[in-house]
């Protein structure tokens, strides 16, 4: 899931140096909810939707991988229970309200997370908060009640007031370089670059010295690997293997 890559990236900053806050004014369905909850804090509109089915169904194997990532990385990094977060995308995760016998603390666990507690028998099961066969779908107020959201606000002005933000926030938008990388990484363009680069390299091998063919081929291959590397679909291994192949030719 691409969303898990972004969610993992959001767990990396040191909260003492930088704090991430997600603001959900309307909806963050399905895997988009994982990105919102990967932030240190979540602020949501009272009627906004968190979790539940999205525009695209998530494959069962992707749900399983996401569960493992939530359990082992995201939830521990943010100090949260992973059961509720997993239930937002997994219809098979059934979560119950538990009350601790000793101090009356309330938590929400699935059976797997309960079994990992230091003393599972010290927790008393209450009502189920999920619906069997469907991903958990919460309104903003419910998310706050369950401890997933810090606050609910009616609009962005309310969000700014919570954090004492007086100046207008600068919106981070993709630059021309991002659009260029996306365009060059398209399969059709990538194949065209390889085709032109290969033809130019062949022409260069048929002529003595270094000419226009070598230059064109070098530019095409440079653009190909540059776009693939920044797009996250190629690494130095692919570049080195290609360079070794050209050297052998």
* pLDDT tens-place string over residues 72-113: 888 887 778 899 999 998 888 999 999 999 889 999 999 999
| pLDDT for 221 | 82
Classify 109 as helix, strand or coil: strand
In the predicted structure, residue 1 carries a pLDDT above the cut 60: no
Q: For 155-214, write each residue's pLDDT tens digit.
A: 998 999 988 888 888 777 777 777 777 787 788 888 888 888 888 888 877 776 667 877
Cα dihedral sign, 139-144-147-151: positive
Q: For 207-242, write each residue's pLDDT tens digit.
A: 766 678 778 888 888 888 877 777 666 666 666 776
| pLDDT for 97 | 94
Cβ(19)–Cβ(41) below 8 Å: yes
Cα dihedral sign, 196-197-202-203: positive
Q: How many CB atoms lie within 10 A of CB 24?
A: 22
pTM of the model as a whole: 0.66
């Amino acid at each position: 899931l691409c969303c898990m890559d972004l969610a993992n990236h959001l767990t990396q900053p040191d909260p003492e140096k930088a704090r991430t806050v997600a603001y959900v004014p309307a909806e963050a369905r399905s895997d988009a909810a994982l990105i919102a909850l990967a932030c240190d804090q979540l602020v949501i509109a009272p009627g906004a939707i968190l979790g539940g089915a999205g525009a695209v169904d998530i494959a069962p194997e992707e749900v399983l991988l996401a569960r493992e990532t939530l359990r082992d990385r995201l939830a521990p990094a943010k100090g949260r229970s992973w059961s509720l977060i997993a239930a937002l995308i997994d219809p098979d995760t059934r979560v119950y309200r538990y009350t601790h016998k000793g101090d009356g603390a309330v938590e929400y666990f699935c059976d797997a997370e309960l079994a990992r507690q230091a003393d599972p028998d010290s927790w008393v099961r209450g009502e189920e908060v999920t619906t069997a066969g469907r991903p958990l779908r919460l309104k903003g107020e419910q998310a706050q009640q369950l401890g997933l959201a810090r606050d609910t606000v009616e609009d962005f002005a309310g969000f700014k007031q919570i954090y004492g933000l007086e100046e207008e926030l600068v919106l981070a938008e993709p630059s021309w370089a991002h659009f260029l990388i996306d365009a060059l990484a398209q399969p059709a363009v990538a194949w065209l670059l390889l085709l032109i680069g290969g033809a130019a390299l062949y022409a260069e091998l048929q002529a003595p010295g270094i000419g226009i063919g070598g230059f064109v081929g070098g530019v095409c291959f440079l653009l190909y690997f540059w776009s693939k590397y920044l797009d996250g679909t190629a690494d130095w291994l692919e570049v080195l293997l290609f360079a070794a192949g050209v050297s052998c030719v």
